[in-house]
Structure 1
Amino acid sequence: MSKIDQFKTLLTEGQIFKKDFLILGTGILDGEAVSNCPVKIPLKTMNRHGLIAGATGTGKTKTLQVIAEQLSLKGVPSVLMDLKGDLSGLAMPGEANDFILKRSATIGVEYTPQGLPVELMTISNEKGVRLRATVSEFGPVLISQILELNDTQRGVVALVFRYCDLHHLPLLDLKDFKRVLQFVSNEGKEAITKEFGQVSPASVNTIMRKIIELEQQGADRFFGERSFEVEDLARTKEGKGVISIIRLTDIQSKPKLFSTFMLSLLSEIYETFPEQGDSDQPKLCLFIDEAHLVFSNASKDLLDKIEAIIKLIRSKGVGVFFCTQTPTDVPDSVLGQLGLKVQHALRAFTAKDRKAITKTAENYPDSPFYKTSDVLTAMGIGEALVTALNEKGIPTPLAHTLIRAPITRMDILEESEIKELVANSQLASKYNQELDHDSAFEILEKKMELVQKEQEHVPLPGPAQRTASRTKQDESFIEELSKNTMVRQVGRTLFRELARGILGSFMGKRR
């Protein structure tokens, strides 16, 4: 048997799938593409997460685009976090040329250009469907981890949430959160001390500074109403999965906002989606481009939370895929959970680079046809080393792969095309309304105005009477807050409790 026949036999036997699959490309042996040697990924294991890695300019983004396309054609929706702004072309058909047609013929697939259903989204000033979440939905533990607070400061945050629950003060945005913190350390200090114990002003001041730091990265636009319902990410249109592209080009220099959003999205999906078990295809796939931004600025608590969610979210039928330059950008604890690995070329310009390549090669199965460390530096653009999990959870043979060309546009949309896409979006009309219901900030401001007016009309009493009067006014203020039946929790109360659930479930304190 020739070497090529042995190669084909190895790939074929390692990729015998009973269920549906994606064709990523064709195998390469000794630098030449082997026709009729497809490299396949079983759809059943796309909820086992994955990694797309490689140096700048090696084709990572196009591989991400190809996988998202193939998932959409199979009816699987996906979410793409687009930090470079080059994924919007998925909405428009690609253009055939001789090079692409020849490549497709070699791989053994038909090249049929077409646009796919795309929803543009944003958490900042980009055009698209606005994604928001309320402070209440985050809950005290997640908010504390994002702000990187110590145990004492976390206790203050927990107190604030508890107080707001008891007295029906909706925490919708950061303005509400800051106002309640001010109340705790100023006008409501005496009542808070009586009900919960003394609160350190130093702790409150530290929390306030942390919130301001988060606001400076644009989080004030993310926290608020209307809260986004994650079920809207798992949509299909005419049998094709909707590709939700979250446009993040203007927050590359704001890693804390990016990691905050990413973790909140994963948490909400985990708590909202029902258990799915091992089904024939995933319910949703998330692709996180420039993933090093998530991990390089995350605290240990935040990393622990990400690791916990990655381990557990698979049972909800959700796959998470990290796109970054080297596997070492992803913590080992997370890397070990990733079933699909697509490794594009790495460059060795320094001794440190060569050591990194050797370490990267150790992450992949051994192959009788390749010396992995050599192939890593020799691959061209649009080539990658690929290994996945078969339907029994066993890694497929490592294959040097010629990746197929995207069927959608390999360029960004024009500004006019973006405007038209957003204008025709049903979700944009649902979520892009500016809402500012009465919440903790407005309620406390009105109450304080009421107290001040009452004080202005009360004649000055003697010393003993003044003390008694002040005590009665304080009690009246707290009582009025607690009995205010006109205040309603704006937003999805049921989801807020679910979102709190994830914060308790990992800590063994589910409410």
Structure 2
Amino acid sequence: MNRKEDFIKHITAGYTSKGESIILGGAILDGEAIADAYVKIPLKTLNRHGLIAGATGTGKTKTIQVLSEQLSSFGIPVLMMDIKGDFSGIAKEGEEKSFITERHAKINLPYSIAKFPVELLTLSEQNGVRLRATVSEFGPVLFSRILDLNDTQAGVMSVIFKYCDDNKMPLLDLKDIKKVINFITEEGKDEITKNYGRISTSTTGIILRKIIELEQQGAELFFGEMSFDIDDLMRIDENGKGYINIIRLTDIQDKPKLFSTFMLSLLAEIYQQMPEKGDSEQPELVIFIDEAHLIFNEASKALLDQIEMIVKLIRSKGIGIYFVTQNPMDVPSGVLAQLGLKIQHALRAFTAKDRQSIKLTADNYPTSDYYNTSEVLTSLGIGEALVTALSEKGIPTPLVATMMRAPMSRMDVLSESEIQNINNNSRLVKKYSELIDRESAYEMLNKKITVIENATAAEAQKEADEKAEQKATKTRATKSSNTTSAVSKSVIKVLTSATFIRGVFGVLTKIFKK
């Protein structure tokens, strides 16, 4: 058996699946595509997460497109976080061009065109399905980690949530929690101290500043009602295809705090609401996080720990998460260790640091008798990648250079009119378009403050009235005393005069009698 035949047998054995599987493309050996040596990924392993990496322009977006198309074809919904804005074409049929048919002929894989059901979602003011969540839904622990609070500050945040729960005050948006913080340090300070303990104003000041920092990245658009229902990510169309939900994030590339806040809240919500699936035949939902370094570069250690924990646990819910980035080193080792499927496009070695990074990347892949991994990483062409996955038994498959199949849908973005047409026909756009601002902590505390102020004013007025009455009483008493004194003096004067007169008349009477 020659080397090529041995290689084909090796790949065929490693990528054989008893159940349903998706075909990524065909194997490459010594720069030559091998017909019928298909690289297949079992559907039941796609909840084991994955990595899609490679330099700019090497084909990562088209790989995501291929994966999303095949997942949708099997009735598996997809959530795609599209930061560059070049993924929307999946809603329209592609074109059968010569370079595509030639590629597929090399691996002996038929090519056809197709379009897929799409929903366009947004975190900002772009047109699409508005994504929102309430502060209460985050809870004190997750909200503290997003703000990167220390233990003392996180304890105060727990008191804030507890106070609102005890007083049935919903925390819906950022103005609610800012109002609560102001209240507990001013008008409600005595109430909080009595029932929950003393809270330092310096601590609440730090928390308030961190909330304002989050607010400046546009988070006020995300926090509020109505909250997005994750069941709306799980829809299947009338043809049995899973919806591909594209979150358009082109205008928040410079707002990593908002991006990581949304991603973490979404993963936490999915984990909490989805039932345990165990070892199911296919995932319930697959999530692609493009430009994943935006999350990890800005994340605190607490936030990274939270992400790692969710990645470990969420796969039992039937959810697969795929991180898309330029360099695998962008993903923390604790998260990287959880990723079953790795699709590595070409890397470029322009500097000594690049060459060192390539060596480290190669060390993350299984050894191979057929490839020098470090060399292959720099020689892969556009639309080619090194692939390793998990078999149905959970065993890593052989490392294989792969000529990726071409997308069946449009390999370009939608026009503005096409985007508008999708939104006009979307049931979800209508469902989430209205911004609800029901009574919450902000309004309830304003009323409470008004009551406190009125009571304080009434008490002050009562005290002022009492002082005025005391003063008036004192004044009346003084006047009465003065009047009595004057009368007494008059009486004395009269009496004295009468006595004198009687004395005089008495003397005169005696004289005249004589």
Q: Structure 2-normalised TM-score?
A: 0.89
Partner of 1:493: none
Amino acid at match of 1:92: K
Partner of 2:117: 117
Q: Distance in 2 between matches of 1:456 and 1:148?
A: 40
Q: Distance in 1 between matches of 2:465 and 2:400?
A: 87
Amino acid at match of 1:186: E
Partner of 1:404: 405
Q: Distance in 1 between matches of 2:463 and 2:391?
A: 84
Partner of 1:97: 97
1:199-244 per-residue CA deviation (whole Å, 9 max, x = no partner) reads 1000111111000000000100000000111111111112111100
1:253 and 2:254 equivalent? yes
Q: Higher helix proportion, which one?
A: 2
Task: Assess, with a 3 A threshold, how the Cα gap between structure 1 residues 168 and 464 changes in structure 2: closer, same or farther.
Answer: farther
Q: Is the 8 A contact 1:36 1:106 kept in 2?
A: no
Q: Distance in 1 between matches of 2:375 and 2:104?
A: 26
Structure 1 residues 275-294: aligned runs within 5 Å: 275-294=276-295
Amino acid at match of 1:202: S
Amino acid at match of 2:296: F
1:203 and 2:203 equivalent? yes
Partner of 2:385: 384
Partner of 1:359: 360
Partner of 1:233: 233
Partner of 2:46: 46
Partner of 1:348: 349
Please give the root-mean-square deviation of Cα atoms over the aligned residues, in Å. 1.4
Partner of 2:476: none
Structure 1 range deviating more: 446-455 or 150-159: 446-455
Task: Assess, with a 3 A threshold, how the Cα gap between structure 1 residues 47 and 129 changes in structure 2: closer, same or farther.
Answer: same
Partner of 1:477: none
Q: Distance in 2 between matches of 1:49 and 1:107?
A: 26
1:104-126 per-residue CA deviation (whole Å, 9 max, x = no partner) reads 22223222211100110011122
1:63 and 2:76 equivalent? no
Q: Is the 8 A contact 2:21 2:41 kept in 1?
A: yes
Structure 1 residues 422-441: aligned runs within 5 Å: 422-441=423-442
1:446 and 2:447 equivalent? yes
Q: Is the 8 A contact 2:19 2:43 kept in 1?
A: yes
Q: Is the 8 A contact 1:11 1:37 kept in 2?
A: yes
Task: Assess, with a 3 A threshold, how the Cα gap between structure 1 residues 438 and 274 changes in structure 2: closer, same or farther.
Answer: same
Q: Distance in 2 between matches of 1:459 and 1:132?
A: 45
Q: Is the 8 A contact 1:116 1:242 kept in 2?
A: yes
Structure 1 vs Structure 2: percent identity of aligned residues?
60
SS, match of residue 335 in structure 2: helix
Partner of 2:177: 177
Partner of 1:244: 245
CA offset at residue 449 of structure 1?
2.5
Question: Post-superposition, which runs of at least 4 consecutive aligned residues in structure 1 deviate over 3 A?
Answer: 450-459, 461-466
Partner of 1:215: 215
SS, match of residue 462 in structure 2: coil
Task: Give the gaps of 5 or more residues in structure 1.
Answer: 467-511
CA offset at residue 464 of structure 1?
13
CA offset at residue 456 of structure 1?
4.6
1:128-176 per-residue CA deviation (whole Å, 9 max, x = no partner) reads 1011100000000111111111111111111110000000111000000
CA offset at residue 461 of structure 1?
3.4
Partner of 1:144: 144
Amino acid at match of 2:126: E
Q: Structure 1-normalised TM-score?
A: 0.89
1:153 and 2:153 equivalent? yes
Q: Is the 8 A contact 1:82 1:249 kept in 2?
A: yes
Q: Distance in 1 between matches of 2:249 and 2:223?
A: 16
Q: Is the 8 A contact 1:81 1:287 kept in 2?
A: yes
Partner of 2:25: 25
Partner of 1:313: 314
CA offset at residue 462 of structure 1?
3.8
Q: Is the 8 A contact 2:17 2:40 kept in 1?
A: no
CA offset at residue 368 of structure 1?
1.0
CA offset at residue 400 of structure 1?
0.5
CA offset at residue 185 of structure 1?
0.2
Task: Give the gaps of 5 or more residues in structure 2.
Answer: 468-514
Partner of 2:3: 3
Q: Is the 8 A contact 1:123 1:130 kept in 2?
A: yes
Structure 1 range deviating more: 447-456 or 284-293: 447-456
Q: Distance in 1 between matches of 2:276 and 2:314?
A: 9
Partner of 1:395: 396
Partner of 1:337: 338
Q: Distance in 1 between matches of 2:71 and 2:445?
A: 49
Q: Distance in 1 between matches of 2:34 and 2:231?
A: 42
1:333-389 per-residue CA deviation (whole Å, 9 max, x = no partner) reads 110110000000000011111111111001111111110000000011000000110
CA offset at residue 444 of structure 1?
1.1
Partner of 1:129: 129
Partner of 1:497: none
1:248-271 per-residue CA deviation (whole Å, 9 max, x = no partner) reads 111111111111111101100000
Partner of 1:371: 372
Q: Is the 8 A contact 1:38 1:108 kept in 2?
A: no
Amino acid at match of 2:446: E
Q: Distance in 1 between matches of 2:461 and 2:292?
A: 63
CA offset at residue 39 of structure 1?
0.8
Q: Distance in 1 between matches of 2:176 and 2:408?
A: 47
Amino acid at match of 1:130: R
SS, match of residue 241 in structure 1: coil
Task: Assess, with a 3 A threshold, how the Cα gap between structure 1 residues 465 and 98 changes in structure 2: closer, same or farther.
Answer: farther
Q: Is the 8 A contact 2:104 2:111 kept in 1?
A: yes
Q: Is the 8 A contact 2:164 2:171 kept in 1?
A: yes
Q: Distance in 2 between matches of 1:378 and 1:287?
A: 26
CA offset at residue 457 of structure 1?
5.2
SS, match of residue 293 in structure 1: helix
Q: Distance in 1 between matches of 2:317 and 2:196?
A: 38
CA offset at residue 2 of structure 1?
2.2
Count of aligned residue pairs for this structure pair: 466
Task: Assess, with a 3 A threshold, how the Cα gap between structure 1 residues 91 and 198 changes in structure 2: closer, same or farther.
Answer: same
CA offset at residue 426 of structure 1?
0.8
Amino acid at match of 2:265: S
